A and B are shown apart, each in its own frame.
Chain A
Amino acid sequence: SQQGEEDPQALSIQEGENATMNCSYKTSINNLQWYRQNSGRGLVHLILIRSNEREKHSGRLRVTLDTSKKSSSLLITASRAADTASYFCATALYNQGGKLIFGQGTELSVKP
């Protein structure tokens, strides 16, 4: 069974709207990270939130973490067409040498 599960699997919004993606996981984590993948390109690291943090901001991104519910959310405010991409959450477990366990991702489409 996978560690990370994301919903929705696909999200289509208009430019200027906010986009919220959710991620759930199963086991205790050291940190949770969000990545973006533009079509045909590599994974870009967006933000890392540690297990003792509840919220983190980076520009138009806001990430929350609820360890009691084993869930995280990524909010992109005032979305732009350039935000169209696949978004993945990834968890880093204790004593696992840094390897990341990814969710299936959310396909975000922002229409101009």
Chain B
Amino acid sequence: EAGVTQFPSHSVIEKGQTVTLRCDPISGHDNLYWYRRVMGKEIKFLLHFVKESKQDESGMPNNRFLAERTGGTYSTLKVQPAELEDSGVYFCASSQGWQVRNEQYFGPGTRLTVT
């Protein structure tokens, strides 16, 4: 069974440009989470999808970030326009159930560098 995959693995863009990150969860996992780790800091929660619905987007830093999960399968996270402080590693995770006891499986992350 394939794990969580993310694309691209690394993206380098200039300030003001747009970048779209993609996450493909494990097949059958209704729950999809986005997290990010800004350099030297802790990994922070961004948002949580249950199927195609946003369950919790309390961690989204501002309206330059837009996440979608059309059809409840893969998800995209768009940053527009990108700022220097958006640089970091963006992780996606999926789980079968939303209950806290369910293990989340993480993807390899997308390293975003904004110059």
Contacts and interface: CB of A to CB of B under 8 A. Distances in A.
Q: Is the interface on chain A under 10, 10 to 19, 20 to 34, or 35 or more residues?
A: 20 to 34
Interface in B73-115: 91, 93, 95, 97-109
Max chain A CB contacts within 10 Å: which of B33, B42, B50, B108? B42
Given A31-B100, A42-B4, A93-B100, A99 B108 contact: no
B17 interface: no
B42 A2 contact: yes
Contacts of B44: 102
Interface residues of B, number: 30
Interface of A: 2, 4, 30-31, 33, 35, 40-45, 48, 50, 88, 90, 92-94, 96-105
25 contacts: A2-B42, A31-B100, A31-B101, A35-B106, A40-B108, A41-B109, A42-B4, A43-B109, A44-B106, A45-B105, A45-B106, A48-B101, A92-B100, A94-B100, A96-B56, A96-B100, A98-B31, A98-B33, A98-B95, A98-B98, A98-B100, A99-B48, A99-B56, A102-B35, A104-B42
